[in-house]
Structure 1
């Protein structure tokens, strides 16, 4: 993956809906806003912690695991190839997906001490979910806007998608993963190999 693709991966991977929608209930917009605000405050506190970078990344990773519907993300992004994968490949994929997702996000957020999350306008998207807008400010970098799609998954609010500049990035990630498999004869194992390579590159960058 090139740098631009990796950035799309970093933003897109965490925020997707499950193929088999897991017990969604009506999402109250106020609850969605409070959820994103609380998660943002936790992330800022972890990022600005005086601990070493590796410890900050781990704190951020733990917050993301609680905030994001990781199983739903993985199932949606793999899409039709989930049914092609063997049970062993499904298990490997979910493990690699979580590690890729968490390493990408925790590394990116953890690099920017002084990050600020500002709430913008929010809207009820459907009965099932709401969009919560945030403006992310980073030192020495342009601010950017992200819309977090929040649904209620198994009775708890979870981030299920992210929209940047009007584009649902979960669809971008799904397309990229599908392209890797399609280019390699429909073999899910080719995607697993690419994910292992990406994890190795991320680990090397972190100095582990």
Structure 2
């Protein structure tokens, strides 16, 4: 699958939150109290709280429901980004090239990739409606392990359901999301191909510039 096709599926799925904050059941009604997020809870419980807080915030915000991408990006930064390990996501997407980058380049690359993903998922949120639902599938892994995959199905009115999986790592601070699978395609793997192409053309700085140029 091409990167453009992968991003199209992300948007069509309304993949409700950067790299996995979309996991959970249908959101509570607008105005519901914000849930306490416990990163050290079971994987499903942790992500359910994050997802419902994010989805509630979007549904309760008139500007977000009207598709204001900048406003949605602010909500993503507040409700989703604290629970995503963008350092690890970027490092894995860069692959062997990560070791070639200076500390300053690594910092700039993480920032640029974070901006790219926030813009992508903010676009996905413009498709959220009152009929958007997310079904949590039975957990198959070991909740005591240091790495976990949680499976979900996202449904939108008049659209086929989309299978979305989330990969989490247990850190000292608790669970962090670092990868996303849409219909069998992992986000990191798709971006790894694009990263390699840009680095071969213009080096690490060329990749950073290319990511920052995608506004």
TM, length-normalised to structure 1: 0.75
From 86, 100, 104, the counterpart of 2:102? 86
Cα distance 1:146–1:44, how it changes in 2: closer, same or farther (>3 A)?
A: same
Number of equivalenced pairs: 184
SS of residue matched to 1:40: helix
SS of residue matched to 1:122: coil
Query: What does residue range 134-145 of structure 1 map to in structure 2 within 5 Å?
Result: 134-145=152-163
Do structure 1's residue 48 and structure 2's residue 48 form an aligned pair? no
Do structure 1's residue 106 and structure 2's residue 122 form an aligned pair? yes
Name 1:197's counterpart in structure 2: 213
SS of residue matched to 1:142: coil
Name 2:35's counterpart in structure 1: none
Task: Let me know the Cα RMSD of the aligned residues.
Answer: 2.8
Unaligned runs of 5+ in 1: 16-26, 201-208
From 167, 192, 195, the counterpart of 1:149? 167
TM, length-normalised to structure 2: 0.73
Name 1:204's counterpart in structure 2: none
> Of Structure 1 and Structure 2, which has the larger fraction of its residues in strand?
1
Q: Distance in 1 between matches of 2:91 and 2:50?
A: 23
From 170, 179, 183, the counterpart of 1:165? 183
What per-residue deviation string (whole Å, max 9, x for no partner) do you get for residues 3-58 of structure 1? 325447877x847xxxxxxxxxxx98x70010121122112212212331333442
Unaligned runs of 5+ in 2: 21-38
